[in-house]
Amino acid sequence: MIKFKNVTKRYGKHVAVDNISFNINEGEFFVLIGPSGCGKTTTLKMINRLIHLSEGYIYFKDKPISDYPVYEMRWDIGYVLQQIALFPHMTIKENIAQVPQMKKWKEKDIDKRVDELLDMVGLEPEKYKKQKT
Same domain, 72 and 96: no
Closest CA to 29 of 126, 112, 117, 128: 117
pLDDT tens digits, 37-78: 899 989 988 998 889 999 999 999 999 999 998 877 777 776
Same domain, 6 and 70: yes
DSSP label at residue 90? S
The CATH number of whichever domain residue 27 belongs to comes to 3.40.50.300
Please check whether residue 11 lies inside any domain of the structure. Answer: yes
Whole-angstrom distance, CA of residue 2 vs CA of residue 5: 10
Exposed / middle / buried, residue 107 (Cβ in 10 Å: 0-12, 13-18, 19+): exposed
* Average pLDDT over every residue of 105-132: 86
Please check whether residue 85 lies inside any domain of the structure. Answer: no
Whole-angstrom distance, CA of residue 52 vs CA of residue 45: 8
Whole-angstrom distance, CA of residue 94 vs CA of residue 122: 18
Q: What is the pLDDT of residue 88?
A: 78
Q: What is the pLDDT of residue 56?
A: 98
pTM of the model: 0.64
pLDDT tens digits, 65-113: 999 988 777 777 766 666 667 777 888 888 889 888 888 899 999 999 9
Please check whether residue 87 lies inside any domain of the structure. Answer: no
Please check whether residue 86 lies inside any domain of the structure. Answer: no
Whole-angstrom distance, CA of residue 43 vs CA of residue 51: 8
Fill in the amino acid letter for 13: K
**Other beta carbons within 10 Å of 12:** 5
